[in-house]
């Protein structure tokens, strides 16, 4: 769980051709399959979740609700299935490209801008992340995380996670207080 709040404020980057789409990580959720019934790995290794059983530093991408991809940073040692879901980012570069990916057109009005990446499915849509990126090495050139100034502890909020039915009491959701791109719940 230590890694999750440390990811806040870091810059998540997705390279597509010659463009670098990026955003500041503003909301995350931690999952630990060894003790966490909400983790995809709690039931053991499957074809779907096998990336989470690999070493940290890979991207675990899954499909949910029959319509959205979500991405996680694998954080554990090999065979210690832990990961951090990227719930929301604050768009920084190539915002027009993100808008095209997300909406099919460039929308620059305030409501669309604030809704662009304010959730895990929205973030993956805006960054054009899908199952093809599952297992991507985050130390490579296509998807990576840049270091940034740490977020002060008094600006980090911890709550229970969103949209799960098991292990609901774990306070493993972390976000930057008052950031406008944090998901609404």
Mean pLDDT score across all residues of the chain:
95
Can you give the pLDDT at residue 60? 97
Is residue 16's pLDDT more than 90? yes
CA–centroid distance for 38 within its chain: 16
- Residue 182 token pair: 């944090």
Give the contacts of 50 (CB within 8 A, at least 6 positions apart): none
For the domain bounded by 3-176, which CATH number is listed? Answer: 3.10.300.10
CA pseudo-torsion sign 88, 92, 96, 98: negative
Give yes or no for a contact between 80 and 34, defined as CB atoms under 8 angstroms apart.
Answer: yes
pLDDT score for 1:
61
The whole-number pLDDT of residue 12 equals 98
Domain ranges of the chain: 3-176
**Alpha helices, DSSP H, located in 48-159:** 95-103, 110-115, 120-126
**How much is the average pLDDT of 89-103?**
98
Backbone angles phi, psi at 123, to 5 degrees: -60, -45
Which of 54-58, 80-84, 163-167 is predicted with the least confidence, judged by mean pLDDT? 163-167
Question: What confidence score (pLDDT) does residue 64 get?
Answer: 86
114-158 residue pLDDT tens? 999 999 999 999 999 999 999 999 999 999 999 999 999 999 999
The string of pLDDT tens digits covering residues 57-95 is 999 999 987 789 999 999 999 999 999 999 999 999 999
Name beta bridge partners: 14.
Answer: 21, 143
């Amino acid at each position: 769980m230590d890694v999750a709040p440390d990811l806040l404020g870091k810059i998540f980057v997705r390279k597509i051709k010659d463009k670098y789409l990026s955003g500041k990580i503003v909301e995350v959720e931690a999952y630990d399959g060894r003790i966490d019934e909400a983790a995809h790995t709690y039931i053991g290794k499957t074809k779907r979740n096998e990336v989470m059983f690999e070493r940290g530093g890979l991207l675990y991408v899954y499909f949910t609700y029959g319509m959205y991809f979500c991405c996680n940073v694998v954080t554990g040692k090999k065979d210690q299935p832990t990961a951090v879901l990227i719930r929301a980012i604050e768009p920084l570069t190539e915002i027009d490209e993100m808008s095209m990916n997300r909406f099919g057109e460039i929308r620059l009005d305030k409501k669309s801008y604030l809704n662009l990446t304010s959730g895990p499915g929205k973030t993956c849509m805006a960054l054009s992340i899908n199952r093809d990126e599952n297992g991507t090495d985050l130390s490579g050139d296509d998807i990576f995380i840049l270091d940034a100034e740490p977020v002060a502890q008094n600006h980090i909020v911890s709550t229970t996670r969103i949209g799960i039915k098991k292990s609901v009491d774990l306070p493993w959701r972390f976000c930057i207080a008052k950031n406008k791109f944090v998901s609404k719940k």
